[in-house]
Amino acid sequence: MRHRILVTDDIDPEGIAILAAEPRLEIDVVPTLAVPELLDRIDQYDAMIGRSATKVSPELLRRGTRLRVIGRAGVGVDNVAMDVATELGIAVINAPAGNTVAVAELFFGVMLGLLRHVPTAATSMREGRWDRSALLGSELRGKALGIVGLGRIGGEVATRAHAFGMTLLGYDPYVADARFTGLRVRRMSTLDELLAEADVVTVHTPLTEETTGLLGRRELSRMTPGAYVANLARGGIVDDSALAQALESGHLRGAALDVFAVEPLPADHPIRRAPHVLLTPHLGASTVEGQRNVAVDACIGVRDALLRGDVSRSINVAAVSGAEWGELQAAMLIAQRAAALARAVLAGQGLRAIRRLSLRCGPELIGAGNALLSAAALGLLEGVLETDRLNMINARALAEQRGIELAMTEVNQLESPYALEVALAGGMQELAVGGVATPGVTARITRIGSYHVDVAPRKTLIVLTNNDVPGVIGRVGTLLGDAGVNIAEWHQARLAQGGEALAAISVDSPVPADVCKALLELPDVLSATTVNFR
C-alpha cells in the first residue's frame, strides 16, 4: 500500500529525501498552492507537511478524508486547528527541538545588538558618519535575566546566559524545581516577582489562551525602569502596542521582537516607530542548520506514523516518557484489550452506559500512562462508535465527549512493575481487568474481576462463568471442538470450591453466534461473553 504525502511549504531537501527513500511513500512538493486549490486536492493525501505559511484550517482538515498525519517543520502549531485534528483522529507532529539552538543564539544576537547599538552604528557608518560618542552601550554581564518559560529554548538561553555572567531568574509554573536547580536559575513564584527584579525579560512559551497578552500594559508597567524586553517566541504573548507606549514614555529602555500578532507586521504599526526597538522578520528558526533539523525531524515523524503506526511524536496524543514507543506496544495492547474485555463482560450483564474508565499503572509504565489511557479509551469505544477514524489520537477526546470520566494513577502494589489495570464503571456496576506487559515476554491478561487468570489476549477470547462442578470443561470443549473452534489457551479460575468459576478461553477464530448461544444452553454455564479483538 502506497501513502501519498503533500508538501505545501519550502521544506529542506534533506527531509524530503528521507521520505523519497521509502518506496511505499509518494511525495508531491507543491509549495505555492492557493487555498482553494489546496482544499480541492487535500482529499487525495494521507499526510501533509508544511511550515507556518500554510494554515491548516478546520475546513481543510474536514475535507482531508484520507488524512492521518499533519507534519509541522517547526515548533509552533498555532496555524493548525488542533481541536479539529484531534476530533478527526489526525496526528499532528512538530519538530520541537530542531531550531532550539537557532532561537537561543538569535536572542543573544539581538540583545547584544540592542545594548551595543549595533544596527544604529552600522547604519551611521554607511551614511558616512562617525557617531562613536553617541553610541555608548551597556553590557550583559551583571544584569538579571528573567526567563519566562523554562522549556527547551528557555533552557538553552539559560545555559548560554551563564557564560555572559548574568544572574538568572525564571518563571514557569509547569516545570519542576529540579530543572530550575539543574539550570542554576532562581525560581520566582509569580510573574510579577520576576518582572520586578529583571533587567532583561525574555519569553519562551507557546501561544495559548493563558499566554496571550501575558506581557500587557499592566505587566510592562511593573517592570524595572530602564529594563529590556525580548519576544522571540510567538506574536501576541507581548502586547506590541502597549510595548510601544512603554518605550515612548521611557519606562523601558529597549525591546527586541522577532514575532508579531499580525505577520507580516503592518507598515503603520506603532512598534515600528518606537525608540530603541530592534525588529526582525520572524528569523528565529531561519538558519541553515535549524531548517534542516526541523525538516528532518518532521519528515521522520510523518514517515514512522504512516508506515509503522508510531505516533509517539504526535503532540495530540500524550508523549511517552521514560520508554520507547516500540517497547510499549505490548502494554498498549493490554490496555486496549483489557478495556474491550471489561466493556463486553459488562454489556453481557446489561450495562451499556459506561461512565468512568480508570487506569492503574505499575511504576515502570506510569511514564507512558497517558498513551496507555488513550489505548484503553480506544478499546472501550471500538465497535461502539460508527466511525472509521477512531484511533489513539482521538479516542480520549471522543470518550470524554460521551461523558466518560477518565482517570489514571500509579500503584506500587500491583503484581509487577509492568502491570496495569483497567476498570470500567457505570451505575452500581464496575469491573476491573488487569494484565502484565513485561518487556521481552508475551503480554498476558492476569485478572478478570476477582478471578486470577493467565491468558494471552489473542484475536478472540471467550469468558465463561459456571458452577464449579465436574463436567463443565468437558462439555464446553466438546461443543467448541464440534463447531471447529480451536482452543489456543484455557485458564480456569475459582474463588472457592463448589462456588462459581470463571474460564478465560483464547481461541484461534471468531465464534459464530449460534455457538455462543449453544454455550449458554449448556448445563451449569451461567454466562458466556465472546470478545473479538481488532
Query: What residues are annotated to the active site?
Result: 234, 263, 282
Peptide bond preceding 417: is omega within 30 degrees of 0, i.e. cis? no
CA distance 376 to 368: 12
Burial 240-271 (b: 16+ CB within 10 A, else e): bebbbbbbeeeebbbbbbbbbbeeebeeebeb
H-run or E-run covering 152: helix 152-163
Classify residue 42 by its DSSP letter: G
The cell for 45 is: 493525501
Amino acid symbol at 425: A
Q: What is the dihedral of CA 285, 289, 294, 300, to 10 degrees?
A: 180
Burial 340-373 (b: 16+ CB within 10 A, else e): bbbbbbbebeebeebeebbbbbbebbbbbbbbbb
Contacts 24+ apart (CB under 8 A), 516-523: 518/479, 518/483, 519/462, 519/464, 519/476, 519/479, 522/472, 522/475, 522/476, 522/479, 523/471, 523/472, 523/475
- 427: number of Cβ within 10 Å: 11
CA distance 15 to 525: 60
H-run or E-run covering 155: helix 152-163
Find the DSSP H helices in 116-150: 118-126
Give me the sign of the Cα torsion angle 149, 154, 159, 160: negative
Instruction: Tell me the three state secondary structure of residue 431.
Output: strand
Burial label, 214 (beta-carbon count in 10 A; 0-12, 13-18, 19+): buried
CA distance 424 to 338: 10
Please say whether the beta carbons of 143 and 199 come within 8 A. Answer: yes
CA distance 79 to 392: 22
CA distance 326 to 320: 11
CA distance 48 to 326: 24
Q: β-strand 91-93 against 69-72: which pairing, if any?
A: parallel
Q: β-strand 167-171 against 186-187: which pairing, if any?
A: parallel
Give the C-alpha distances (Å, rounded to integers) separating 427 from 356, 357, 430: 10, 13, 8
Compute the half-sphere exposure of residue 187: CA atoms within 13 Å on the CB side of its CA: 13
CA distance 154 to 170: 9
